[in-house]
Chain A
Amino acid sequence: DIQLTQSPSSVSASVGDRVTITCRASQGISSWLAWYQQKPGKAPKLLIYAASSLQSAVPSRFSGSGSGTDFTLTISSLQPEDFATYYCQQGNSFPYTFGQGTKLQIK
């Protein structure tokens, strides 16, 4: 199985800050990586697919990059509604796997 390791596991930041979350795969997955945002009690919401493509209606302050084994999600200027948990997910091979999550908290 492909393991995805996110870092950091949690981060505290302020409104307006730039935040970067990384996701490392245990083997190459080309660009078959997605990023999700999840708020408490809610379903995950797709932000980025194919490593760098912005899902429709997602604000442009979210961006993704990377290929192979190393990927990043960047939020350019944090807004109050961005405080949530973020997950990466690989769609390269079965079983599809998720990272352990990164909790983004208000400083």
Chain B
Amino acid sequence: EVQLVESGGGLIQPGGSLRLSCAASGFTVSSNYMTWVRQAPGKGLEWVSGIYSDGRTYYADSVKGRFTISRGDSRNTLYLQLSSLRAEDTAVYYCARGPWMSAFDIWGQGTMVTVSS
């Protein structure tokens, strides 16, 4: 079965760091474009970061310089390192496969990150 499972969320103080993981099964992370999308409580969806199969990475301006996307090829896992966290980073973070033909076709269940003192 093709699926993504996120982990690593939690409550963190402003200025803190956290690493999110996204374990894939049924396909190979390193052969696909992979993405992180977040959703603040009661709000819409926001694209955060993506990594191509060739390793190129892209970030939203709101997280550039603070977040780092990477892959653990041996573990078939996608990561998102969050640093210098702010209250406005509070959200459910989803990993997704794609885009392929403009779309993200497989999504994880999400992991909640709460930034608060």
Contact = CB atoms under 8 A, between A and B. Distances in A.
Interface string A72-104: 000000000000000101111011111111000
B102 A98 contact: no
B102 A34 contact: yes
A49 B61 contact: no
Nearest to B59: A95
Interface residues of A, number: 30
Contact of A44 (B45, B46, B60, B101): B45
Interface in B13-68: 35, 37, 44-47, 50, 58, 60-61
A36 B44 CA distance: 12
Given A43-B108, A43-B110, A32 B102 contact: yes
A50 B47 contact: no
A94 B4 CA distance: 23
A55 B105 contact: yes
A49 B107 contact: no
Nearest to A1: B61
Contact of A98 (B44, B58, B100): B44
Interface of B: 35, 37, 44-47, 50, 58, 60-61, 94, 98-105, 107-110
